[in-house]
Amino acid sequence: MYEAKKLGRNNCQFFRPEMQARVLEWQSLEGSLRCALERNEFMLMYQPKIALETGEISGVEALLRWKHPERGLIQPLKFVPIAEESGLIVPIGRWVLLEACRQARAWIDAGLPPMRIAVNVSALQFAAKDFLSSVRAALISTGIDPSNLELELTETVLMQDAESAVQTLRALKDIGVQLAVDDFGVGYSSFSYLRKFPLDALKVDRSFINDISSNADNAMILSALINIGKSLKHRVVAEGVETEEQLHFLQQEGCSEGQGYFFCRPVIAEKFAEFLERGVTESAVH
Ligand code: C2E
Ligand code: CA
Ligand code: CA
């Protein structure tokens, strides 16, 4: 069923023996995922976003990791789809939101400058009835300024039910949080909705930054995507910046922020605090 679902709607797939192993792996992970929250097995890593004009840290993204008791650290691409399919992403997402705000508060309490912290929000979480109240609760209980919290939503999340997404986004804007479209360019955004959504930032998907040097078409698309963001008056963030060449291209095109291994990999909270303390410059973050 999952194989067929992956290929879109109205699809059928015949069962193949090798699927059995994947089904078992999935079930085993789903089973242990059910207890992971209460066992305190999740942690967040933090990856800075860099202002491309100044080289300063302009924000940070919280990225979820699972410290599995037997398998070690598991990356989100391995377990977030399972959490989404089983509905567990709703309580897990609530934990991420609160933990990210709690960490942002801890950095402020340690005397570090307030930082805009971004959290990834999945479709189910965004559609959940208590989503707005969980955002409010996280902000109130930690005393984080709403404008220092950014929610990253993929195009798919927003376009699934665009009309009700507009309502939810407006309510979030009333709270005062920042809103960003994640993986911009790979989904199927309707431009009329992009205009209607009260967004603050577009994060151009990594795939467009990847091979700009060898693929002229991609360089052209990247430049077009940056210009869409600029004309909508949004901040434009390029994700997956890995080389100096990519950085220069982005600077030339007037992209405001970048994120990627060239600047810094996702790091634990203590390490990120060190970067903040040093007032990181581009070279210091490597
Ligand atoms: P994303 O939101 O697009 O996050 C960016 C991913 O790209 C991260 O992978 C990050 O480590 C990786 N990355 C950053 N810079 C580079 C680079 O220069 N090169 C390459 N090749 N990769 C780079 P990660 O942490 O494994 O997360 C993968 C995805 O899992 C995220 O993609 C996001 O969709 C999802 N995810 C992570 N944390 C959460 C969460 O708390 N909640 C939800 N719902 N999803 C999450
Ligand atoms: Ca993201
Ligand atoms: Ca992304």
Across the range 171-181, mean pLDDT stands at 98
Interval between CA 180 and ligand 2 midpoint (Å): 9
Grade residue 166 by pLDDT with cuts at 50, 70 and 90: very high
**Confidence category of residue 282, pLDDT binned at 50, 70, 90:** very low
**Looking at the domain that runs over 37-278, which CATH code has it been given?**
3.20.20.450
Domain ranges of the chain: 37-278
195 has a pLDDT exceeding 50 = yes
pLDDT digits (tens, 9 = 90+) for 53-90: 999 999 999 999 999 999 999 999 999 999 999 999 99
pLDDT at residue number 213 = 80
Which helix (H) or strand (E) segment is 203 a member of? Answer: strand 201-204
> Counting runs of H as helices and runs of E as strands, what totals does the chain give?
13, 9
- Distance set, CA 260 to CA 47, 55, 116 (Å): 8, 13, 17
Q: For residue range 115-133, what is the model confidence (pLDDT) as tens digits?
A: 999 999 999 999 999 999 9
pLDDT one-digit tens code per residue, 10-56: 777 777 777 778 788 888 889 899 999 999 999 999 999 999 999 99
Query: Within a 10 A sphere around the Cβ of 18, how many other Cβ atoms?
Result: 7
pTM (predicted TM-score): 0.92
Q: Which residues lie closer than 8 Å to 255 by C-beta, 6 or more apart?
A: 52, 204, 226, 236, 237, 238
Whether residue 91 is predicted with pLDDT greater than 60 in this model: the reply is yes
pLDDT over 70 percentage in the chain: 98
Q: Which of 239, 242, 244, 264 to mutate to test the pocket of ligand 1 (most atoms within 8 A of CB)?
A: 239
Measured from CB, residues less than 6 Å from any atom of ligand 1 are: 47, 63-64, 75-77, 80, 89, 93, 96, 120, 122, 152, 182-183, 239-242, 259-261, 266
Residue appearing with tokens 């955004």:
189
